[in-house]
Structure 1
Amino acid sequence: MRVGVISDTHGYLNPKILQIFRGVQHIIHAGDIGTMDVIFNLSAIAPVIAVRGNMDTAEISSTYPEDHRLQLAGTDVFITHNGGMLLRSPNAFRARCGPKRPDAFIWGHTHRAENRVIDGMLSLNPGSAGKPMFDLPASVAVLNLEPGQPPRAEIVTL
């Protein structure tokens, strides 16, 4: 299963994303969506699973949860916005995610892409897909999930 992963759009959806995400079965948005138009346009490609970010409006914050945990293709996936804080504190991580580590931990907030495995768990931050900030390139990720296999991801610079 191919899953598009995006974060920190801040109301801007780069047209290149529509091509990159063509054919994905789901799209995960890890917060700081900006406007509901972003969700509407992504939904034309595939069903969207989203969490709210620290910069999201009241409308978005009341529509989407802070965290979301789900199974996709037999893979345990946990989504949050400010995941960097949780990765730095094992106690905070357990308090938020529970005693069982997810197979894939998806987060945003820093605008800095990350694709690494930590103690068998994929830590994936797609970077910011919005207009570039902080001298960082805009990016998204494509997550590949296969039952019985560890999750794999690729960061795609826009």
Structure 2
Amino acid sequence: MKKILLLSDTHSYIDETILKYVAQADEVWHAGDIGDLIVTDTIKKLKPLRAVFGNIDDDKARMEFPLHNRFKCEDVDVWITHIGGYPGKYNQNIRSDLFLNPPNLFICGHSHILKVMFDKQHNFLHMNPGACGIHGFHNVRTMLRFVVDGEKIRDLEIVEIEKKN
């Protein structure tokens, strides 16, 4: 059993509130647009991190993190990428791979819009944790927490943090 904190679109921002949730997780997954690597370096000092780079990330982030991160967590096949789309509107650059070899859990960021949807047509769960940084159009900073237990994803919780301007 692993407690996961899923975040995205930090855009160089990390604070004590995010770190409080990091401390409660077994692993942290970041779905891109990290910004300054101080974000991921800070997280890695506390917990294991799996991440991908996003469209705003520089060469340093692109050298440290992949565009796609596919791995097993317990018995769940996970695929994280930054610009992935969502059911019915997946990114055309990944559609064929996604449909030929679907994961159990497909995660992306980019939109700054929190979405959790089950793709019935392709039989996998899609998650986008929204944005937990302070830059962007979103009014509330969001993250997701959940447990991976064997082949089950359970105890999903939305974390909402007031965005101070």
TM-score by length of 1: 0.89
Q: Partner of 1:12: helix, strand, or coil?
A: coil
Cα–Cα, structure 1 residues 48 and 150, in superposed 2: closer, same or farther, change >3 Å? closer
Give 1:149 deviation, angstroms: 2.1
Change (3 A) 1:103 1:16: same
Pair 1:22 & 2:23 matched: yes
Match of 1:41 in 2: 42
Identity %: 28
> What's the offset of the Cα at 1:152?
5.4
Q: What corresponds to 2:79 in structure 1? A: 78
| Residue in 2 that maps onto 1:69 | 70
What is aligned with 1:147?
150
Please say if residues 115 and 128 of structure 2, whose CA atoms lie closer than 8 Å, have aligned partners that are also in contact: yes
Distance 2:48 2:137 in 1: 30
- What is the DSSP-based 3-state SS (H/G/I as helix, E as strand, rest coil) of the residue aligned with 1:16? helix
The 8 Å contact of residues 75 and 151 in structure 1, kept in 2 or not, is answered as no
Structure 1 alignment gaps of length 5 or more? none
Give secondary structure in 2 for the equivalent of 1:142: strand
Report how far residue 89 of structure 1 moved.
4.2
SS in 2 for 1:42: helix
1:40 alignment partner AA: D
Q: Could you tell me how far apart the structure 2 residues matched to 1:18 and 1:56 are?
A: 21
Does residue 136 (structure 1) correspond to residue 113 (structure 2)? The answer is no
Q: How many residues align?
A: 158
- Displacement of 1:118 in angstroms is 1.5
Distance 2:91 2:109 in 1: 18
Counterpart of 2:6 in structure 1 is: 5
CA contact (8 A) 1:104 1:151 kept: no
**Aligned partner of 1:10: which letter?**
H
Question: Is 2:3–2:145's contact at 8 Å kept on the other side of the alignment?
Answer: yes
Q: Does the CA contact (< 8 Å) of 1:103 and 1:150 recur in 2? A: no
Aligned pairs for 1:84-95 (under 5 A) are 84=85, 88-89=89-90, 92-95=93-96
Unaligned runs of 5+ in 2: none
RMSD: 2.1
Residues 1:126 and 2:129 are matched in the alignment:
yes
Amino acid at match of 1:34: G
CA distance in structure 2 between the partners assigned to 1:73 and 1:117 by the alignment: 20
Post-superposition Cα deviations, 1:51-73, rounded to whole Å, max 9, x if no partner, equal 00000011111221110100001
